[in-house]
Amino acid sequence: MTASHSLTSPSSSPISSSPLASTSAPTAIPPLVYRVHRSGSQTRYSFSTGFSAKNQTTIVNYTSALSRFGLAHLNQQTNISSPFISVYDNLAHAEAVARYFGERYEEDTWVVTVDPAHFARGPVFRAADLLRKEASDEIECSNNKKKGRGLGDVADEWLHWGEYLVMYRIPAQAIRDQTPIAKVGDQKRKGVGVIGGGGGSSSNIGGGAA
């Protein structure tokens, strides 16, 4: 079965009146992708309902909106509600990112396997394209140097290797399985109070960064 969406790259030229379009031919994404989900994510998730981005109302149909919301999403800016859901094209890399997030944010973290064939019709964006455009814009504006924008930090670039941004929702039909990677909550409970007195782990995956 082929997916019913197209992979879209942000155009380097402004779009005046037409919807967002790719300057290159649509490219299929892998048959399976992997969502790194942590308990503090903006994106809501349960195995029975799938994933739902926090922002369900913004229409991202122009390059300016794509750049604003896409880069805010990748930078994990919590002051802007994201209409995107991040997934990765490689399981081993997704697991590495999940372990990193678990330690960095001290949150329970999972890797959820997703079948893109069940995505709703619509564009999927490559994080690499957005970051490439951001880098190009920064070069053009080199006279106005601004540091600390987040993704200018080379140390964090690996977090976006093979990353795609899906808009709004990933339905429950697309979920194949979920694997806990970091159970930080359990470790915290075991580290406080009486030795060996840790409680049972929660079965709910928290709702609510990228």
Taking all residues of the chain, what is their mean pLDDT, rounded to a whole number? Answer: 72
pLDDT tens-place string over residues 69-123: 667 666 676 667 888 899 999 999 999 999 999 999 999 999 999 999 999 877 8
- The burial class, CB within 10 Å (0-12 / 13-18 / 19+), for 82 is buried
Beta strands in 161-210 (DSSP E): 163-167, 169-171, 175-182
Calpha distance 63→80 (Å, rounded): 17
- Chain-centroid distance, C-alpha 138: 23
Looking at residue 204, its pLDDT comes to 47
Polymer length of the chain: 210
132-143 exposure pattern, b = at least 16 Cβ within 10 A, e = fewer: ebbeeeeeeeee
Looking at residue 8, its pLDDT comes to 56
Looking at residue 75, its pLDDT comes to 64
Looking at residue 191, its pLDDT comes to 45
Query: Which of the four pLDDT bands, split at 50, 70 and 90, describes residue 208?
Result: very low
Q: Is the pLDDT of residue 181 over 90?
A: yes
Q: Is the pLDDT of residue 14 over 50?
A: no
Calpha distance 3→107 (Å, rounded): 32
CA dihedral 110, 206, 4, 7 (to 10 degrees): -70
Determine what percent of the chain is predicted with pLDDT higher than 90.
35
Mean pLDDT of 1-15: 43
**pTM of full prediction above 0.85:** no
Calpha distance 60→84 (Å, rounded): 10
Q: Is the pLDDT of residue 179 over 90?
A: yes
Determine what percent of the chain is predicted with pLDDT higher than 70.
55
Looking at residue 140, its pLDDT comes to 46
CA dihedral 98, 50, 57, 116 (to 10 degrees): 80
Mean pLDDT of 27-52: 92
pLDDT tens-place string over residues 136-161: 554 444 545 554 444 445 458 898 89
